[in-house]
């Protein structure tokens, strides 16, 4: 029986980078977590331990810091492209470099004072190989809630079903979303991200939801209708259940006012919305 090496990659994960640009007394703060994954002709190190073709992960970490100092950071899509192209172009054996960047938000308190903002994180994943570059922007942890205009009924019932029909419910989720750009060139990554995020939110707000699946589709559809530079949107939407509390034992009614917010278990709705003429996106759902 022959034993062969399957698909493999390696890199430095979760490099923490804080970059401060000092414009006189007014500073600009960028807080990133950067992960690098490299793939190519690396079979020897797996089979025999020969590291002659291996760029140490410590060197990859140092490259992240050096590039921030030498070139600045700017938009995270541009930063990811610079890094990924560097690794492919500088390392003869590397045929694919993937750089995943998370940007953590800070609210300005003064000229050089900041407070960490909420759980929402902006993301970018850049993959460079011999055929070109693919840029995927996105966000995680965008918490949204509609306190009405949400229903769920008409579903399958079997002997284990106890869930009642809901004609007016709270709909809450924490959006993990990613969207693929048509090209790796952009004059304004920041505007593209801001507008894509705005359309996700506006679709959530404006959709009278009969299911979270319907809401997911509406959110992706709106982004594609308004942002021609984006060809596919993928989302993972946990249903953050809010259950009506039974107040009858206390002699009180509860006209959809008091809820128990359950953190688990939860429904998880995932899906992609894309242009029908867009090239297939072969990467796995949440591959860094």
How much is the pLDDT for 145? 92
Q: Which of 179, 206, 202, 184 is nearest to 272 (CA)?
A: 179
27 and 103 within one domain = yes
pTM metric for this prediction: 0.90
> In the predicted model, what is the mean pLDDT of residues 232-251?
93
How much is the pLDDT for 78? 98
182 and 114 within one domain = no
Q: Put residue 123 in one of left, alpha, beta given phi > 0 → left and psi -120 to 50 → alpha.
A: beta
120 and 94 within one domain = yes
Per-residue pLDDT at 83 exceeds 90: yes
> In the predicted model, what is the mean pLDDT of residues 246-260?
88
> In the predicted model, what is the mean pLDDT of residues 259-287?
84
Of 130, 153, 186, which marks where a domain is finished? Answer: 130
185 and 86 within one domain = no
How much is the pLDDT for 286? 44
| Rounded Cα–Cα distance for residues 189 and 230 (Å) | 11
Q: pLDDT over 90 for what percent of the chain?
A: 85
Q: What is the pLDDT of residues 29-45, one digit of tens each?
A: 999 999 999 999 999 99
180 and 124 within one domain = no
Beta-strand (E) ranges in 94-131? 94-108, 114-129
Q: Which pLDDT band holds residue 287 (cuts at 50, 70, 90)?
A: very low
Cα diameter, the chain: 76
Considering the chain, what is the average pLDDT of its residues? 93
The domain of 28 spans 1-130
193 and 236 within one domain = yes
Q: What is the pLDDT of residues 169-184, one digit of tens each?
A: 999 999 999 999 999 9
Query: Which DSSP letter does residue 249 get?
Result: G
Of 96, 130, 164, which marks where a domain is finished? Answer: 130
Pairing of strands 230-239, 242-244: unpaired
76 and 20 within one domain = yes
Per-residue pLDDT at 285 exceeds 80: no
165 and 65 within one domain = no
136 and 33 within one domain = no
How much is the pLDDT for 283? 62
| Rounded Cα–Cα distance for residues 283 and 128 (Å) | 13
The total number of structural domains in the chain stands at 2
Beta-strand (E) ranges in 163-264? 171-181, 230-239, 242-244, 259-261
How much is the pLDDT for 84? 98
How much is the pLDDT for 277? 92
How much is the pLDDT for 281? 81
> In the predicted model, what is the mean pLDDT of residues 116-130?
94
How much is the pLDDT for 202? 95
Per-residue pLDDT at 275 exceeds 90: yes
How much is the pLDDT for 216? 97
CATH of the domain at 209: 3.10.270.10
> In the predicted model, what is the mean pLDDT of residues 274-279?
92
For residue 41, what are the CA distances in angstroms to 24, 51, 53, 130?
47, 11, 8, 14
Of 130, 160, 184, which marks where a domain is finished? Answer: 130
141 and 115 within one domain = no
Question: Catalytic residue positions?
Answer: 12, 57, 241
CA-based R_g, the chain, Å: 23
103: exposed, middle or buried (C-beta count within 10 Å: 0-12, 13-18, 19+)? Answer: buried
Q: Which pLDDT band holds residue 260 (cuts at 50, 70, 90)?
A: confident
Q: pLDDT over 70 for what percent of the chain?
A: 98
Q: Which of 217, 219, 215 is nearest to 198 (CA)?
A: 219
255 and 148 within one domain = yes
Strand partners, 146: 171
Per-residue pLDDT at 279 exceeds 90: no
159 and 46 within one domain = no
């Amino acid at each position: 029986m022959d034993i062969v090496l399957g698909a493999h990659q390696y890199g430095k994960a979760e490099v923490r980078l804080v970059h401060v640009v000092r414009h006189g007394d007014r500073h600009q703060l960028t807080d990133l977590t950067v992960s690098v994954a490299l793939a190519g002709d690396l079979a020897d190190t797996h089979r025999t331990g020969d590291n002659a073709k291996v760029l140490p992960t410590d060197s990859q970490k140092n490259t992240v810091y050096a590039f921030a100092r030498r070139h600045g950071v700017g938009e995270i899509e541009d930063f990811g492209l610079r890094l990924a192209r560097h690794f492919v172009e500088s390392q003869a054996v590397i045929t694919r470099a993937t750089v995943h960047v998370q940007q953590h938000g800070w609210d300005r308190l003064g000229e050089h004072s900041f407070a960490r903002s909420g759980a929402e994180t902006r993301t970018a994943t850049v993959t460079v190989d011999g055929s070109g570059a693919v840029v995927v922007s996105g966000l995680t942890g965008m918490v949204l809630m509609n306190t009405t205009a949400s229903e769920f009924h008409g579903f399958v019932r079997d002997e284990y079903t106890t869930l009642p029909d809901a004609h007016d419910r709270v709909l809450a989720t924490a959006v993990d979303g990613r969207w693929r750009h048509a090209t790796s060139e952009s004059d304004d990554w920041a505007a593209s991200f801001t507008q894509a995020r705005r359309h996700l939110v506006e679709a959530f707000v404006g959709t009278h939801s009969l299911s979270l699946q319907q809401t997911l589709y509406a959110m992706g559809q709106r982004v594609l209708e308004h942002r021609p530079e984006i060809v596919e949107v993928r989302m993972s939407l946990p249903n953050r259940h809010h259950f009506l509390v039974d107040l009858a034992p206390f002699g009180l009614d509860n006209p959809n006012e008091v809820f128990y917010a359950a953190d688990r278990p939860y429904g998880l709705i995932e899906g992609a919305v894309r242009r029908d003429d867009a090239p297939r996106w072969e990467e796995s759902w949440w591959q860094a």
